[in-house]
Amino acid sequence: KAGVTQTPRYLIKTRGQQVTLSCSPISGHRSVSWYQQTPGQGLQFLFEYFSETQRNKGNFPGRFSGRQFSNSRSEMNVSTLELGDSALYLCASSLQGTSYNEQFFGPGTRLTVL
């Protein structure tokens, strides 16, 4: 079974631009979560989608948004990029999105904002 895939793997943007990151979950998984990883703050939860609905959102500004499609693929968007948005963005998928289901992580997208 193929693992979670994320595209692109690396991205360089400038301040003020917007960016869209993509995540394809493991086949059959309906829950997709997104995390931001930085050296200072570590891994922080962004949001979680299940069956095209956002069920939970972390403490991030409205510039961070996401969506999930009917095939469970998910995208996250960051508008008006700031230098502090430079981070590794991780996507994770699980069957039903409960604590009984293991979360499988993707390799991440490394975003650099100049």
Judged by the rule CB under 8 A, the positions of this chain that interact with another protein are 3, 31, 33, 35, 42-45, 48, 50, 55-56, 58, 90, 97-100, 102-107
Element (H, E) at 37: strand 31-38
Compute the least distance from the CB of residue 48 to another protein, in Å.
5
Residues 51, 57, 62, 68: what is their CA dihedral angle, to the nearest 10 degrees? -20
**Which runs of consecutive H residues, i.e. helices, occur in the chain?**
none
Compute the least distance from the CB of residue 108 to another protein, in Å.
8
Q: Is 37 exposed, middle or buried (0-12, 13-18, 19+ CB in 10 A)?
A: middle
Phi, psi of 81, deg, nearest 5: -55, 140
Question: Of 36 and 81, which has the nearer Cβ to another protein?
Answer: 36
Question: Of 14 and 56, which has the nearer Cβ to another protein?
Answer: 56
Question: Of 33 and 74, which has the nearer Cβ to another protein?
Answer: 33
Cα–Cα distance for residue pair 58/60, rounded to 1 Å: 6
Question: Of 76 and 90, which has the nearer Cβ to another protein?
Answer: 90
Compute the least distance from the CB of residue 61 to another protein, in Å.
17
